[in-house]
Amino acid sequence: MNIIINPLLQAYVDPLTESEHAALERSLLAEGCRDALVLWNDVLIDGHNRYAICQQHGIPFRTIQNTSFESIDDVMLWMIDNHLARRSVSDFQRGVLALRKKEIVSSRMPLAAAPDSAEPAEGERAAPATVKPAMSTREEVARAARLSSNQISQIEKIQKAAAPELVEAVRAGTISINAAATVASLPPEEQVAAVAGGKKLLRQAAKEIREQRAASRPPREPKTPHVSLDTPETGDEPWAASAAAPPSEVERLRDELATLKQRVAQLQKENTALNERIAVLIDAS
């Protein structure tokens, strides 16, 4: 039997961890390959991990054909939906699959004609409203992946800016999606160095970047309440009791962090000056 492995389709399958691979291998050795592998002509579209283990140990397997596809895009969409329905797929991989589905769906949508702004003539029907393509918004992609819109945004950033080593780290679960999107803002060589340092260094790098961003944000000025010119100044107006709303907890912490950083810099400067004076006294003694 000539079974073809398409690398593009195989990329949709999340690699098994060592423990997952060992568990599947034990199951196949003990019980055989109970579920049939799914083919599209000669191309394997479901059962890549089972096929590899069966080939390695000479375990017999069955195959079935899915003849409902007309193109490779149909196969891709079927595989994506198949994997999105599985609970074992990681959040990152679900986001990647949902974004890929959006690309395929968008490429298959015919270009909608621009709506005619002119009024229809008497007796003519008005042109139907343009139908919005499926999965055209980040919210729709997030629903398909069972993630938040913010997570989809972070995965998009990882795909665009992350070094391959960082992508592999988030795929393997070494670093979270949120932290990986933050580390992806570093130059590629610094990303690679952080990945080489392991989980602890990756978390530390993400933490330092967030702290630097927080410190660089200027504190927000309190909003001045609106005063109506038509209101008589009796002194009992509700706006007179509070001239400005107090800063939020986040703003207060940011201000404290900026103040502490300035204080640390000042202490380091004083420490350097003291060390220089000590050195001069030692040389003079």
- State which of 46, 69, 92 marks the end of a domain: 69
Give a yes or no: residue 45 inside a domain: yes
Tokens in use for 109? 């949508």
Give a yes or no: residue 141 inside a domain: no
- The CA–CA distances, whole Å, from 213 to 28, 161, 182, 231, 235 equal 51, 18, 10, 43, 42
The span from the CA of 256 to the CA of 250, in Å, is: 10
- State which of 69, 91, 109 marks the end of a domain: 69
From 115, 3, 94, 90, select the one nearest 50 (Cα to Cα). Answer: 3
Give a yes or no: residue 218 inside a domain: no
Q: Report CA Rg, the chain.
A: 30
The span from the CA of 64 to the CA of 48, in Å, is: 14
- Give the domain extent around 258: 249-284
Residue pair 13/44 in contact (Cβ under 8 Å)? The answer is no
Domain count, the chain: 2
Give a yes or no: residue 105 inside a domain: no
The span from the CA of 63 to the CA of 37, in Å, is: 5
From 38, 90, 84, 83, select the one nearest 61 (Cα to Cα). Answer: 38
Give a yes or no: residue 1 inside a domain: yes
The β-bridge partners of 131 are none
pLDDT tens, residue order, the chain (285 aa): 789 999 989 887 777 878 889 999 999 999 999 999 999 999 999 999 999 999 999 999 999 999 899 999 999 999 999 889 888 788 999 999 999 999 999 887 764 444 454 555 555 555 554 555 677 788 999 999 999 999 999 999 999 999 999 999 998 888 999 999 999 999 999 999 999 988 888 888 888 888 888 888 777 666 665 555 555 544 444 444 444 555 566 666 677 667 767 777 777 777 777 677 766 565 554
Q: DSSP code of 260?
A: H
The span from the CA of 210 to the CA of 215, in Å, is: 9
Would you state the pLDDT for residue 221? 67
- State which of 32, 52, 69 marks the end of a domain: 69
Give a yes or no: residue 182 inside a domain: no
The β-bridge partners of 44 are 39
The span from the CA of 78 to the CA of 61, in Å, is: 22
The span from the CA of 61 to the CA of 56, in Å, is: 12
From 85, 77, 88, select the one nearest 15 (Cα to Cα). Answer: 88
The span from the CA of 182 to the CA of 178, in Å, is: 7
Give a yes or no: residue 280 inside a domain: yes
The span from the CA of 165 to the CA of 228, in Å, is: 59
The span from the CA of 174 to the CA of 167, in Å, is: 10
Contacts with 30 (C-beta within 8 Å, 6 or more apart), sequence order: none
The span from the CA of 9 to the CA of 43, in Å, is: 9
The span from the CA of 50 to the CA of 193, in Å, is: 35
Contacts with 283 (C-beta within 8 Å, 6 or more apart), sequence order: none
